[in-house]
Amino acid sequence: MITKLLLASALSCGVLLATAIRPALAVTIDTSQSAGPVPTSPGTGLIASYYKFSQSVTGLAQGDGLVAAASGPTATFTALTVCFPSCNSTENDGSSLSSYISTNGTNLSSDSTLGDAVTLYNGFIAIASAGVYTFDLNSDDGSDLSIGGTLIINNDGQHALTDLQASVTFQSAGLYAISVDHFENGGVTGVTVEENGAALATSDLYGSVPAPEPASMAILGSSLFGLGLARRRRACRKTLHSEDGGTRHGATL
């Protein structure tokens, strides 16, 4: 808490933080890290788990240890994007969780109040095409972002709202696992993930890998379609043959 106030004071005095001037990290995500092709149906968001504790959370590692020892999350919800309470903003501890997730979250299992906590966001993100993407992770307190099982940004530590950026090269389009780990240690809290300068689109976020159409069903559908065409062709031939035969018969009478 004291650290966050000192950092906020430094920012207000125009002092540049080391984290604010670090060059963007460069990461490459290999094709083998894809969980599958880009789904044909749109996504509906990530799975979010909120763990509130009665003790201070001082870092990601310690917070993850508390999560592992917990009997389960305090609450769960669907994150339509990772932009809480809104993009690049914070909310006071003691506010309600429902107020915090506001319109960017849904399906809240039970309400709670903000405080010393860890929030985990897990699921998959669709990358439409190969190329270089820029990701920003802005949080108070610490957080990290992983894609395809690779740590993209480590924004750990007790600090005021701090934005770190990474340049990510995807070697192919596809669906990739994504996770955000965020902790809060008193005061105010918030977390934002942006892709190419914009909030993550709900349609690109999936709580799980959509089940592909079974190959057997696709083959069956193709076979039935082909059978239907064959039957229509035979019916047409019979009709033409009958009409042709009647004409010839009539001509001979």
- The 10s digit of each residue's pLDDT in 53-77 is 999 999 999 999 999 999 999 999 9
% of the chain at pLDDT higher than 70: 74
pTM attached to this predicted model: 0.79
d(CA 102, CA 241): 70
Query: Does pLDDT of 203 surpass 80?
Result: yes
Lowest mean pLDDT among 51-55, 170-174, 233-237: 233-237
Burial of 217: CB neighbours in 10 Å, binned 0-12, 13-18, 19+: exposed
Element (H, E) at 87: none
Domain 2-206 CATH (choose: 2.60.120.1560, 3.40.50.1100, 2.30.290.10, 3.40.50.720): 2.60.120.1560
> What pLDDT, on the 0 to 100 scale, is given for residue 25?
87
Q: What is the pLDDT of residue 250?
A: 40
Given this model, what pLDDT does residue 212 score? 74
pLDDT for the residue numbered 4: 52
Please check whether residue 140 is in contact with residue 159, taking contact to mean a CB–CB distance below 8 angstroms.
Answer: yes
- Sign of the C-alpha dihedral computed for residues 151, 157, 158 and 160 taken in this order: negative
Mean of the per-residue pLDDT values of the chain? 84
* Measured distance CA(186)–CA(211) in Å, rounded: 41
Asked which of 37-51, 102-116, 126-140, 216-230 is least confident by mean pLDDT, the reply is 216-230
Distance CA 207, CA 115 (A): 26
**Distance in angstroms (rounded) separating the CA atoms of residues 185 and 202:** 28
CB-CB contact of 19 with 13 (8 Å): no
Asked if 92 and 114 touch (Cβ cutoff 8 Å), the reply is yes
What is the helix (H) or strand (E) element at residue 21, kind and residue range?
A: helix 18-21
Query: Above 90 in pLDDT, residue 128?
Result: yes
Q: With bands split at pLDDT 50, 70 and 90, how would you rate the model's confidence at 241?
A: very low
If you ran DSSP here, which 8-state letter would residue 34 be given? -
Higher pLDDT, 164 or 215: 164
More reliable by pLDDT, 82 or 15: 82
Count CA atoms within 13 Å of residue 205 on its CB side: 25
Per-residue pLDDT at 211: 85
**141 preceded by a cis bond (ω within 30 of 0):** yes
